[in-house]
Chain A
Amino acid sequence: MATATYLSNPVVSIGAVDLSDQCTSATLSQKITALQANAFGSTAISYTAGLQDNSLSLDLYWSTAATETYATLKALVGTNIATITIKGSSGATSATNPLGTLSNSFLEELPVAYTLGELTTVSVTFMGGTFAWTEA
């Protein structure tokens, strides 16, 4: 039977800073690069695992109030962030509410979108680093 999750209160934190109430979308990509491992005699493409190439993209409102989005992100551009965590619900971490942790990812840019008549937003992508799920 198909199940659906109504994502209403996920939690995303950059380091110890919880930015959930500024975040409208998060795209986590746990990726391991596929390396072709063929040789003479191969009859089909085969792959082996290469390096991790994880990323986490967040859409955030660009609040410049104290301790909000601007204060959180302004000093992180061009740096490696120790930990970023995300989970689907604010409830306790469990097998059905796993906590994803991206460690040592890199923030390349801070592209702020100012649009007339709309709330200002920023879409950031944390690239690279190691990723792991925690279920307890």
Chain B
Amino acid sequence: MDRYIISSIRVGEIGKPFMAQPSDDIEWLLAGGFIQRSDTHPSKSAKLSEKPDATNNKKD
């Protein structure tokens, strides 16, 4: 399933995923520059050697 990202404030908040409705003309929205295909797939988070908040949780 294609994913789309909002690229114009006319369809929502820029950068947010575009939730297409059945009546939406995706090709028209793409051609007009209102949305764009997301070329990134959800990926696993980078592995860190230490949890980011690990130091904050250390007790004295």
Contact = CB atoms under 8 A, between A and B. Distances in A.
Q: Do A and B bind each other?
A: yes
Given A75-B28, A83-B23, A16 B11 contact: yes
B32 A16 contact: no
Interface string A61-101: 00000111001100110000011000000000000000000
A55 B18 CA distance: 29
Interface residues of A, number: 15
Contacts of B34: 16-17, 67, 71
B19 to A, nearest CB: 9
Contact of A75 (B11, B12, B32): B32
Contacts of A15: 23-25, 28-29
A16 B29 contact: yes
A19 interface: yes
A82 B8 contact: no
Contact of B21 (A16, A75, A103): A16
Interface string B1-44: 00000011011100000101101110011011110000000000
Contacts of B28: 15, 75-76
B23 A82 contact: yes
B32 A67 contact: yes
A82 B20 CA distance: 13
A82 B33 contact: no
Nearest to A82: B23
A1 to B, nearest CB: 39
Nearest to B28: A75
B32 A71 contact: yes
A17 B33 contact: no
A75 B34 CA distance: 13
A72 B23 CA distance: 16
A18 B24 CA distance: 13
6 contacts: A15-B23, A16-B34, A66-B8, A67-B7, A67-B10, A71-B34
